[in-house]
Amino acid sequence: MCATCGCSDSSLTIPPHHHGDGNFDHVHSAEPSTVVTLERAVLAKNDALAARNRAWFAGCGIVALNLVSSPGSGKTTLLERTIRELGSEVPMVVIEGDQATENDSARIRSAGARALQVNTGTGCHLEADMIERAVNALAPAPNSVVMIENVGNLVCPALFDLGEHAKVAILSVTEGDDKPAKYPHMFAAADLFIINKIDLLPYVDFDVERCIAYARGVRPGLVTIALSARTGENIGAWYDWIRAARVPAAV
């Protein structure tokens, strides 16, 4: 069970501890009803704070994007390039989520954007109250974009609403094209799916169309962009998506 969010699976089996002398200590998990009650309480509190964040963002004309992925997908590299190439047109601030270090926030500042690092310790995801505190510290300008780089994890961040305009799921071609099938909750929650590192396609066994089919199997019609944050191939499609997200829908 995650120590922070209480996520668990009743089918989880914890083997007994073997002393080496033929004796075992049997480990008993919490009652399923207790775990479910805890999960609901944690998520309900988070959802209430997320709703407050969302209302504040909307009132300021701010678009908040929650970037979610496993570690090493290229989220920070994508943000660095986005800031350098789009930052003069679209004002951006960045909230960086990691368990430890300020490495990524330092990279973002070097790219030219203000950033605040949120270190979660043992936590495997960001939560709405963390975003509220970070936004208060960053004080983003009206009509700007708040980029939230979540902790690298394809499970828990799918459950926690931060008050964002959209979840952007990022997958690199080095991770395997079946990830949307293996982690369906994340891709079902996504509003945009980015396949990154397509410059490496000649060197890996990754079928882009099959990956997209898996993703749309859990989220029909999911918008997908395949690009390379390193070379810039097709990155303009990502920039156009950001521009469109900032334009109010026609009535």
83-114: per-residue pLDDT in tens?
999 999 999 999 999 999 999 999 999 999 99
- Phi and psi, residue 232, nearest 5°: 90, 0
Alpha carbons within 13 A on the beta-carbon side of 98: 16
Query: Does residue 128 contact residue 46 with C-beta atoms inside 8 Å?
Result: yes
**23-81 confidence digits (pLDDT tens):** 434 344 455 565 556 567 778 999 999 999 999 999 999 999 999 999 999 999 999 99
Distance from C-alpha of 65 to C-alpha of 193, rounded to nearest angstrom: 12
Q: What is the DSSP string of 72-134?
A: TSSHHHHHHHHHHHHTTTS-EEEEEEESS-SHHHHHHHHHT-EEEEEE-TT--S--HHHHHHH
Q: Average pLDDT of the chain?
A: 88
- Mean per-residue pLDDT, 172-201: 98
Query: Does residue 135 contact residue 53 with C-beta atoms inside 8 Å?
Result: yes
The helix/strand count (H/E) of the chain reads as 8, 9
Single pTM value for the model:
0.85
Q: What's the confidence (pLDDT) of residue 31?
A: 59
- Mean per-residue pLDDT, 179-192: 98
Domain ranges of the chain: 26-245
CATH class of 26-245: alpha beta
Q: What's the confidence (pLDDT) of residue 42?
A: 78
The strand pair at 24-25 and 63-68 is best described as: unpaired
**142-156 confidence digits (pLDDT tens):** 999 999 999 999 999
Query: Does residue 59 contact residue 140 with C-beta atoms inside 8 Å?
Result: no
